[in-house]
Amino acid sequence: MMEITIGTISLNIFALLLTILIGFYTYFKWCFKYWKTRGVPHVEPTFPFGSLKNPAVGAKSFGEQCKDFYTTFKAKGHKHVGIYMFAAPIYIPIDIELIKNIIQKDFDHFVDRGVFYNETDDPLSAHLFAIEGAKWRNLRVKFTPTFTSGKMKMMFPILIECGRQLKEAMDIATGKNEPIDIKDFAARFTTNVIGSCAFGLEFNCFEEAESNFIKYGKRFFVPKGIELLKDFIGFAKPSLARRLRMCLTPKEVEEFFMKIIKESVNYRETKNFERKDFMQLLIDIRNSVKDDKENGIGLTFEELAAQAFVFFVAGYETSSTTMTFCLLELACNPAIQQKVREEIKEVLEKYNGEMCYDALAEMKYMGQVIDETLRKYPPLMFLNRKCVDPYRIPGTNIVLEQETPVIIPILGIQRDPEYFPDPEKFDPDRFNEENRNKIIPFSYLPFGEGPRICIGLRFGIMQTKVGLTVLLRNYKFSFNNKTKIPLKMDPFSFSMAVDGDIWLNAKKNIENY
């Protein structure tokens, strides 16, 4: 009798699961008609991942897959393509004019990024990059003055000190005559910079086996287990993730950064201590507008913490990635590396050998090298936008519905031979004074463009230049065979990240010692 009961329960459970699966499959098949009924060329979807490859079988990253969609459908003469992430339809413009319209000309239809944030359950996610509508506009106006040249110069001494720590660590490493994990060195340098500027804490990541800032910074970018599914839901359907009260920031990451930020703010306010850094700028904004809630521009502690957090995770990751790929390319192109080194020497001689903000501004060729690195290896491989009002695509009768996600495939555009001939070649001369003017507008988008262009781009370039100046002035780099070529990108990362390490040989530049 007991066996019959157990068997009946098992059968009922199986029937319930089968019914749910059939329901999901039917719903997905219905959703998969979305682009076809609207006459938009599309990637044929399959259940349950839609147009994307199964992430469990070593597929390419989402950014690389978007590049493939762009390349394939452009070759067929299409100006746009529709894809599905699970059951969610996503619109990908291919034609540069369409991209220009979305990012700039018709910006009011695409003012929001459409990425996940949840002020209540995941306060660190509600930062300037993610928030929407009037709140974004008000915060953007308030934060824009914090990234002027004057404010950058104010923080420059912090970067010089971090550069000194970088040199000391590299001196020790080169003395061992072993290959250098350049990705790790770049991450430690940028963590020192951003940690000091964003939180007002002076620490030397080079002296610790694993700094907590690096540990929790990496943890944020490496989802585990169920977090992967939550991240995909948050990316494909952020509104659903909010309704489900999801928190995409790992709990230990939130607890660590909230504690650090609270301690920093409390110390400064109780001790009346001021420091010329990003944290001080945030505190000043908070104190100047905290009683102005009726105008919607008040800055709560949670909002302050979210801005400090995104400044850290975005600043340390994107700049360290840029430095890493830049040094790899220079190691593989010694003539270009030597040309940068000669420019550094020539410029710094004008300033008595001292690195300063104005000296970096004169390093034009280094700027070209960084620009070319950002073209070939954009830290963000795509841009997010969301249609906030129904939008008729110019030249067609197709109307994008409100809430439709839009993906602009930066990696595909910037490696398109129509815009950048021989795109796999590393060629800084694409960005010299003569050729820069020939670049088609909106074909180069490493920082985005239009009203939602990256607010921190000046700071990112500045810290990248400081790191490269310290390294290239004092050391010569060459390729090490421990680095696996061709590079394989991390399939689970939404940013440009190598799966594995990048090793280089480094030796002291005798001329500078």
Full pLDDT tens readout for the chain, 513 residues: 555 555 566 666 777 677 777 877 888 899 999 999 999 999 999 998 899 988 767 678 999 999 999 999 999 999 999 999 989 999 999 999 999 999 999 999 999 999 999 999 999 999 999 999 999 998 898 888 888 888 889 889 999 999 999 999 999 999 998 999 999 999 999 999 988 888 877 777 888 777 788 888 888 887 787 888 888 889 888 999 999 999 999 999 999 999 999 999 999 989 888 888 888 888 888 887 555 544 545 588 999 999 999 998 888 889 999 999 999 999 999 999 999 999 999 999 999 999 999 999 999 999 999 999 999 999 999 999 999 999 999 999 999 999 999 999 999 999 999 999 999 999 999 999 999 999 999 999 999 999 999 999 999 999 999 999 999 999 999 999 999 989 999 888 888 989 889 999 999 997 775
The CA distance from 349 to 274, in Å, is: 34
Q: What is the CATH number of domain 33-512?
A: 1.10.630.10
The CA distance from 359 to 348, in Å, is: 7
Q: Quick one: tokens of 14?
A: 């199986």
At 102, which amino acid appears? I
The CA distance from 313 to 253, in Å, is: 11
- Report strand pairing: 180-181 vs 503-508: antiparallel
Give Cβ neighbours of residue 255 (< 8 Å, ≥ 6 apart): none
Helix (H) or strand (E) holding 405: strand 405-408
CB contact burial 253-271 (16+ within 10 A = b; e otherwise): bbebbbebbeebbeebeee
Q: Quick one: tokens of 91?
A: 């619109």
At 254, which amino acid appears? E
Closest CA to 281 of 151, 125, 160, 458: 151
Helix (DSSP H) and strand (DSSP E) numbers for the chain: 19, 9
- Report strand pairing: 88-93 vs 80-85: antiparallel
Whether the CB-CB separation of 341 and 472 falls below 8 Å is answered with yes
At 393, which amino acid appears? I
Coil, strand or helix at 42: strand
Q: Tell me if 454 is assigned to a ligand binding site.
A: yes
Residue 123: how many other CB atoms lie within 10 Å: 21
| DSSP assigned state of 57 | G
The CA distance from 177 to 165, in Å, is: 19
Phi-psi category of residue 80: left, alpha or beta, with phi > 0 → left and psi -120 to 50 → alpha: beta
The CA distance from 309 to 282, in Å, is: 12
pTM, full prediction: 0.93
Residues 347-381: pLDDT tens digits? 999 999 999 999 999 999 999 999 999 999 999 99
Whether the CB-CB separation of 426 and 336 falls below 8 Å is answered with yes
The CA distance from 171 to 169, in Å, is: 5
Q: What is the dihedral of CA 335, 64, 118, 257, to 10 degrees?
A: -40
The CA distance from 421 to 416, in Å, is: 8
* Long-range contacts, stretch 344-353, CB < 8 angstroms, 24+ apart: 344/469, 344/472, 344/473, 345/473, 345/511, 345/512, 348/473
The CA distance from 24 to 30, in Å, is: 10
R_g (Cα) of the chain, nearest Å: 24
Domain ranges of the chain: 33-512
Burial of 13 (C-beta count, 10 Å sphere; 0-12/13-18/19+): exposed
